C-alpha cells in the first residue's frame, strides 16, 4: 500500500549508497528523525568522497585537504572551496576550477593504460611522457610552458620565499600541484599560471575518442578552449596575454 512513509522508504532504498532502513512508524520521533538525517548525510558525503577518489579524470582532487585559516587542513567532502574566494580574477578561477573538475582532457589519464597504444598517451607538446596534469604543468619542457612556469617560480619566491623545484616524477608533480593549489595563499599565483598554460594548450577543451570523460559531460564549449570572447578582459594586467612577448595561442 502506498503512503508518504512508503515513498520515503523507496527514496532511501534507491540512493546510490547504503543507509539504514526506516524505523517502524510508531518509533518515529524527533530523535530518530535526526539520527536518520545524520546517517544519510554522512553516507552521502562518504559516497561523494569515494566516487571522486575512483575517477581517473580528476587526479588533483584525490585525497585533497581543504585549507583553513584557523587550523590545519582538513578532509571536507562538501564545502565552498577556498579558491572560489581567494582567486579574485574570474578567468584564473575558471581555469583552475575546470582543471580540478576534469573539464580539460588529458591523453594520459585512463582507467587501464594497457588498453591504449603508448603513442596515444604521451604529451602532445614534447612526446616524452604521459600527458597528465602533473606532466603538463610541472614537468613538460615545452618552451612556452617553461616560460610560464618561470613566472610562477618568480612569484612564489618573491611573495612567499617558496622555491619551485622541478619534480622528479609524475607522482611528485601531482603532489606539488596539490600543495600549491590547496593553500589559501599560493593558490592565487598558481591559478594565474594554470590560466597561462591552458591558453597555450588550447586543445585541452577538445576530447578525443580515447579520452576519459567520466567527470566532464559535453558542453557548448567542448570544441574550444572553454573561454569566451571576454576571456582576455578579466585579467589583472596585460601580462597574461603573452609570456616574454610570445603570443600564447597555438593552432594545432
User: In this complex, which beta carbon is closest to Zn ion, that of residue 98 or of residue 125?
Assistant: 125
CB atoms within 10 A of CB 156: 19
Look at the alpha carbons of 23, 27, 29, 34 in this order and tell me if their dihedral is positive or negative: negative
Is residue 197 at the binding interface for Zn ion, with CB under 5 A as the rule?
no
Q: Would you say 137 or 231 has its CB closer to Zn ion?
A: 137
Determine if 250 is a binding residue for Zn ion (CB under 5 A).
no
Strand partners, 246: 243
Q: Is 105 in the site for Zn ion (CB under 5 A)?
A: no
Give the N- to C-terminal CA distance of the chain in Å, as an integer.
62
Least separation in angstroms between CB 6 and Zn ion: 57
Q: Is 123 a residue that touches Zn ion (CB under 5 A)?
A: yes
Q: Does 140 bind Zn ion (CB under 5 A)?
A: yes
Asked if 57 and 213 count as a contact pair (C-beta separation under 8 A), the reply is yes
Residue with cell 623545484: 165
| Of 126 and 184, CB closest to Zn ion | 126
Between 188 and 200, whose beta carbon lies closer to Zn ion? Answer: 200
Q: Tell me the closest approach of the beta carbon of residue 51 to Zn ion, in angstroms.
A: 29
Are 192 and 156 a contacting pair, CB within 8 Å?
no
Beta bridge partners of 247: 242
Out of 81, 93, 110, 125, the only residue in the binding site for Zn ion (CB under 5 A) is: 125
DSSP 204: G
Instruction: Indicate the residue among 123 and 156 with the shorter CB distance to Zn ion.
Output: 123
Of 53, 54, 74, 89, which Cα lies nearest the Cα of 182?
74
Residue 130 in contact with Zn ion, rule: CB under 5 A: no
Which residue among 126, 151, 185, 241 contacts Zn ion (CB under 5 A)? 126
Q: Which is nearer to Zn ion, 81 or 130 (CB)?
A: 130
* Residue 122 within binding range of Zn ion, rule CB under 5 A: no
How far apart, in whole angstroms, are the C-alpha atoms of residue 198 and residue 184? 22
Q: Are 157 and 163 in contact (CB under 8 A)?
A: yes
107 lies in the site for Zn ion, by CB under 5 A: no
Residues of this chain that interact with Zn ion (CB under 5 A) are 123, 125-126, 140
Amino acid at each position: 500500500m502506498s503512503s508518504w512513509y512508503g515513498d520515503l522508504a523507496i527514496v532511501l532504498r534507491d540512493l546510490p549508497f547504503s543507509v539504514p532502513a526506516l524505523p517502524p512508524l510508531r518509533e518515529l520521533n524527533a530523535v530518530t528523525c535526526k539520527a536518520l538525517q545524520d546517517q544519510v548525510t554522512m553516507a552521502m558525503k562518504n559516497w561523494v568522497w569515494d566516487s571522486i577518489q575512483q575517477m581517473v579524470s580528476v587526479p588533483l582532487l584525490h585525497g585533497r585537504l581543504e585549507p583553513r585559516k584557523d587550523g590545519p587542513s582538513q578532509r571536507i567532502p562538501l564545502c565552498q572551496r577556498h579558491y572560489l574566494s581567494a582567486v579574485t580574477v574570474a578567468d584564473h578561477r575558471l581555469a583552475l576550477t575546470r582543471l580540478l573538475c576534469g573539464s580539460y582532457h588529458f591523453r594520459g589519464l585512463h582507467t587501464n593504460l594497457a588498453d591504449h597504444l603508448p603513442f596515444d598517451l604521451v604529451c602532445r607538446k614534447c612526446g616524452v611522457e604521459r600527458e597528465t596534469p602533473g606532466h603538463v604543468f610541472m614537468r613538460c619542457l615545452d618552451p612556452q610552458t617553461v616560460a610560464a612556469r618561470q613566472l610562477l617560480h618568480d612569484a612564489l619566491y618573491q611573495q612567499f620565499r617558496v622555491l619551485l623545484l622541478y619534480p622528479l616524477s609524475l607522482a611528485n608533480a601531482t603532489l606539488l600541484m596539490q600543495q600549491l593549489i590547496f593553500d589559501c595563499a599560493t593558490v592565487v599565483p598558481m591559478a594565474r599560471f594554470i590560466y597561462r598554460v591552458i591558453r597555450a594548450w588550447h586543445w585541452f577543451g577538445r576530447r578525443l575518442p580515447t579520452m576519459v570523460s567520466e567527470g566532464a559531460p559535453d558542453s557548448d564549449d567542448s570544441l574550444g578552449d572553454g573561454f569566451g570572447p571576454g576571456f582576455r578582459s578579466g585579467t589583472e594586467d596585460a601580462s597574461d596575454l603573452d609570456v616574454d612577448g610570445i603570443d600564447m595561442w597555438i593552432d594545432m
